[in-house]
C-alpha cells in the first residue's frame, strides 16, 4: 500500500537543542501508528511537524507522496484531537462540532446532516444543545473526536486524547477509537505514554526516546522481540539477567551462578542481557530447582500483588535483585507469604537476547 505520511530524514532543532534527531519512516494509508515514549522524547514534535505547526530544521515531509514541507498547516487538511479537548466553552455541542464545517462554508442543511451523523457515531445523540461544562470528561473527548472527523480529514493526529480520563472510560474510548478507525479507514498518528493503550490500538508502534526512534514495528514485535533493554523495560514488565558464556556451548552463567541455557549459542563473548517476561515463569518445587539446573531462579517472596485477574509475585534473589512472576489469579490457591522460599523456571524458547 502507498505511503500516506512520509518523514524523510527529518530533524528538528530548537536553537542548539535537538528535539528530534534525524528520523525517517512511512505510514501507510489507513494505518494506525502510535508514538510511544517517555516525556520529552519527541512525540508531539513529530505531530507538530506533520500538522505543519512547526517546520523541520532539515528533511522533508510528504503527505500522499506530495512534498508539503513548506506548506502551511491550513493547506494540509489534517484533523487534530487534543488531550485537553480544546472545546469552545460558550458553544453548544452542536456548534462545536459544526464549527469546522462553518469555516469551510458548507450549506447549513449539509452541516446539520453531518453533525447529527457524527454525533450519533460517537454516541452523543441527544446531547446537541449541551455546553461542554455540562458533559463528563469522556463525553467532552467524544465531542473533540466528532469535531475532528466531521469534515472527513484523510489524516488524524491525536495527542494523548485519553490522558485525562479514568481507566474505565479510557478502555471504553479505546474501543470506540478502534471502531471509528475501522469504519472511517483514516490514517492516524496517535500519541500516548501508556504502553497498554499503544499495544491495544495500533497497527504499528513507534517507540521514541531522547528524540530518536528506538524501535518501530507491530505491537507483538515490540513485546516479544524487543531489540534493546529500553524497549523490553518500557513495554510490558520484564526480568533481565546479565550472563557470560561458561565455555559449554549455549550455556551461560550470571554473576550469582544462575545457569542459562539458550536455544542457540550467542555470537560474541558477552556479557549478554537476557529478557524473560514475568508471565513465562513457572513455579517449580525445591527438587526441580536443585543446584546445577539451568533456567531456574530462586529467592524469597518479597511481596504478592493482586490485580484482580492477574497476580504478581515478586521474589528477592540472594544477590538482592528482584524478579517478577505473573500468573492468572486462582481464588482457591494458597497465597504465598513474604519470606517463603520459591523457585521459578522458564522454557529456553521464552528468552530474548537483548542488544544493550
The residues of the shown chain that bind ligand ATP, judged by CB under 6 A, are 14, 17, 19, 37, 39-45, 193
Of the two residues 31 and 160, which places its CB atom closer to Mg ion in the complex? Answer: 160
Q: Which is nearer to Mg ion, 158 or 354 (CB)?
A: 158
In Å, how far are 35, 96, 144, 169, 191 from 86, measured between CA atoms? 21, 10, 7, 19, 16
Q: Which three cell numbers stand for residue 353?
A: 537476547
Q: How many CB atoms lie within 10 A of CB 236?
A: 19
> Closest residue to Mg ion, Cβ-based?
44
Residue number, 12 or 298, with CB nearest to ligand ATP = 12
**Distance spanning both ends of the chain, measured CA to CA:** 34
| Span interacting with Mg ion, options 44-52, 63-71, 173-181, 199-207, rule CB under 5 A | 44-52
Note whether 201 and 190 are within 8 A (CB).
Answer: yes
Residue 40 near which of Mg ion, ligand ATP, none (CB within 5-8 Å, type-dependent): ligand ATP
If the CB atoms of residues 37 and 153 are measured against ligand ATP, the closer one turns out to be 37
The binder of 17, among ligand ATP, Mg ion, none, by C-beta within 5 to 8 A per type, is ligand ATP
Nearer to ligand ATP, 23 or 311 (CB): 23
How many whole angstroms separate alpha carbon 47 and alpha carbon 158? Answer: 8
The binder of 13, among ligand ATP, Mg ion, none, by C-beta within 5 to 8 A per type, is none
Residue 202 binds to Mg ion (criterion: CB under 5 A): no
Burial 275-289 (b: 16+ CB within 10 A, else e): bbbbbbbeebeeeeb
Report the distance separating Cα 143 and Cα 99, nearest Å: 12
As measured in angstroms, the least distance from the Cβ of 82 to ligand ATP is 11
DSSP code of 157? E
CB of 143 to ligand ATP, least distance (A): 22
Out of ligand ATP, Mg ion, none, what residue 204 binds, judged by CB under 5 to 8 A for its kind, is: none
Query: Which one of Mg ion, ligand ATP, none interacts with residue 14, CB within 5 to 8 A by kind?
Result: ligand ATP
Whichever of 19 and 214 has its CB closer to ligand ATP, that residue is: 19
Q: Taking Cα atoms as reference points, which of 334, 338, 312 lies closest to residue 324?
A: 312
In the complex with Mg ion, the residue whose CB is nearer, 44 or 174, is 44
Minimum Å gap between C-beta 209 and ligand ATP is 9
Residue 311's binding partner out of ligand ATP, Mg ion, none, with CB under 5 to 8 Å set by partner kind: none
Could you tell me if 346 and 295 are in contact, meaning their C-beta atoms sit under 8 angstroms apart?
yes
DSSP string, 297-346: EEEEEEEEEE-SSEEEEEEE-TTS-EEEEEEE--TTSPPP-TT-EEEEE-
Per partner kind, with CB cut-offs from 5 to 8 A, the member of Mg ion, ligand ATP, none near residue 141 is none
Dihedral over alpha carbons 189, 191, 195, 197 (to 10 degrees): -70
Of 55 and 200, CB closest to ligand ATP: 55
Residue 303 interacts, among Mg ion, ligand ATP, none and using kind-specific CB cut-offs from 5 to 8 Å, with none
**Least Å from the CB of residue 41 to ligand ATP:** 4
Residue 45: contacted member of ligand ATP, Mg ion, none (CB under 5 to 8 Å, by partner type): ligand ATP
Q: Scan for cell 500500500, then name that residue.
A: 1
Pick one of 6, 23, 41, 44: the residue that binds Mg ion (CB under 5 A): 44
Can you give the three-state secondary structure of 2-31, one letter per residue? CEEEEEEEEEEEECCEEEEEEEEEEEECCC
Judged by beta carbon, residue 45 or residue 295, the one nearer ligand ATP is 45
32 neighbors 188 (Cβ within 8 angstroms): yes
Site residues, Mg ion (CB under 5 A): 44
Amino acid at each position: 500500500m502507498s505511503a500516506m505520511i512520509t518523514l524523510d530524514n527529518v530533524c528538528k532543532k530548537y536553537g542548539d537543542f535537538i528535539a528530534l534527531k534525524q528520523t525517517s519512516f512511512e505510514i501507510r494509508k489507513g494505518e494506525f501508528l502510535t508514538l510511544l515514549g517517555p516525556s520529552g522524547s519527541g512525540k508531539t514534535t513529530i505531530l507538530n511537524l506533520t500538522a505543519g505547526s512547526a517546520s523541520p530544521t532539515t528533511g522533508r515531509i510528504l503527505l500522499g507522496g506530495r512534498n508539503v514541507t513548506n506548506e502551511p498547516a491550513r493547506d494540509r487538511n489534517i484533523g487534530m484531537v487534543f488531550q485537553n479537548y480544546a472545546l469552545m466553552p460558550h458553544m453548544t455541542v452542536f456548534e462545536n462540532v459544526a464549527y469546522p464545517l462553518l469555516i469551510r462554508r458548507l450549506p447549513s442543511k449539509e452541516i446539520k446532516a453531518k453533525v447529527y451523523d457524527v454525533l450519533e457515531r460517537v454516541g452523543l445523540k441527544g446531547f446537541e444543545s449541551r455546553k461542554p461544562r455540562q458533559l463528563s470528561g469522556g463525553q467532552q473527548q467524544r465531542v473533540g473526536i466528532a469535531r475532528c472527523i466531521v469534515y472527513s480529514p484523510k489524516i488524524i493526529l491525536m495527542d494523548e486524547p485519553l490522558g485525562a480520563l479514568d481507566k474505565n472510560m479510557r478502555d471504553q474510548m479505546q474501543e470506540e477509537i478502534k471502531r471509528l478507525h475501522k469504519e472511517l479507514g483514516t490514517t492516524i498518528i496517535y500519541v500516548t505514554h501508556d504502553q497498554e493503550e499503544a499495544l491495544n490500538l495500533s497497527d504499528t508502534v513507534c517507540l521514541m526516546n531522547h528524540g530518536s526512534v528506538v524501535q518501530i514495528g507491530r505491537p507483538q514485535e515490540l513485546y516479544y522481540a524487543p531489540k534493546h533493554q529500553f524497549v523490553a523495560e518500557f513495554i510490558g514488565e520484564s526480568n533481565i539477567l546479565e550472563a557470560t558464556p561458561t565455555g559449554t556451548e549455549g550455556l551461560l552463567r550470571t554473576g550469582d551462578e544462575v545457569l542459562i541455557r539458550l536455544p542457540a549459542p550467542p555470537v560474541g563473548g558477552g556479557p549478554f542481557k537476557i529478557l524473560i517476561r514475568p508471565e513465562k515463569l513457572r513455579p517449580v518445587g525445591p527438587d526441580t530447582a536443585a543446584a546445577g539446573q539451568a533456567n531456574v531462579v530462586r529467592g524469597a517472596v518479597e511481596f504478592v500483588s493482586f490485580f484482580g485477574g492477574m497476580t504478581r509475585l515478586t521474589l528477592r534473589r540472594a544477590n538482592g535483585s528482584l524478579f517478577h512472576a505473573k500468573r492468572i489469579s486462582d481464588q482457591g490457591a494458597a497465597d504465598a507469604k513474604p519470606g517463603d522460599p520459591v523457585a521459578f523456571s522458564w522454557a529456553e524458547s521464552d528468552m530474548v537476547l537483548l542488544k544493550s
